[in-house]
């Protein structure tokens, strides 16, 4: 089946640092979504992207829809302890099928 690969798999950063993570696909996607999942909870949508090249911000979070439509990036600026969690990309391909990525686990050290 479709695979959305995220990197890095895990990150350990100091509070206040900026974070970058990305998501790549072997095929073209029409939408990209970024979610955060806390332990014992379902994913919560952070940012949605709808067209190639689009750059969207939500507070300290910024995400971009890659020009090739096969990748997306998420940046978190000035990280804080509550940013800890697992970040998932997700998206719909040209067949309108929906997939989640493999996840990036973020640990913020105070």
Partner 1 sequence: EAGVAQSPRYKIIEKRQSVAFWCNPISGHATLYWYQQILGQGPKLLIQFQNNGVVDDSQLPKDRFSAERLKGVDSTLKIQPAKLEDSAVYLCASSPRTTYNEQFFGPGTRLTVL
In sequence order, what are the residues at sequence separation of 6 or more whose Cβ sits closer than 8 angstroms to the Cβ of residue 16?
A: 78, 79
Shortest Å distance, C-beta 15 to partner 1: 25
For the CA atoms of 26, 41, 79, 50, the dihedral, rounded to the nearest 10 degrees, stands at: 40
Q: Is 85 in the site for partner 1 (CB under 8 A)?
A: no
Residue 48 binds to partner 1 (criterion: CB under 8 A): yes
Number of residues that bind partner 1 (CB under 8 A): 21
- The residue among 22, 23, 29, 35 whose CA lies nearest residue 51 is 29
User: Cβ distance 2 to 90 under 8 Å?
Assistant: no
Is the Cβ of residue 42 or residue 110 nearer to partner 1 in the bound state?
42
Asked if 42 is part of the footprint of partner 1 (rule: CB under 8 A), the reply reads yes
Q: Checking DSSP bridges between strand 55-58 and strand 85-93, what pairing results, if any?
A: unpaired
Binding to partner 1 (CB under 8 A) within 20-39 occurs at 31, 33
Indicate which single residue of 20, 24, 75, 92 sits in contact with partner 1 (rule: CB under 8 A): 92
Question: Which chain residues interact with partner 1 by CB under 8 A?
Answer: 1, 4, 31, 33, 40-45, 48, 88, 90, 92, 97-103
């Amino acid at each position: 089946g479709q695979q959305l690969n995220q990197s890095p798999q895990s990150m350990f950063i100091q509070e206040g640092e900026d974070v970058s993570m990305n998501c790549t696909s072997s095929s073209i996607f029409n939408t990209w979504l970024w979610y955060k999942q806390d332990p014992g909870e379902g994913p919560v949508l952070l940012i949605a992207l709808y067209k190639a090249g689009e750059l969207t911000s939500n507070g300290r979070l910024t995400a971009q829809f890659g020009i090739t439509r096969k990748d997306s990036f998420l940046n978190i600026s000035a990280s804080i302890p509550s940013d800890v969690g697992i970040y998932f990309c997700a998206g719909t391909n040209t067949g309108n099928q929906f997939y989640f990525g493999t996840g990036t686990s973020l640990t913020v050290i105070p």
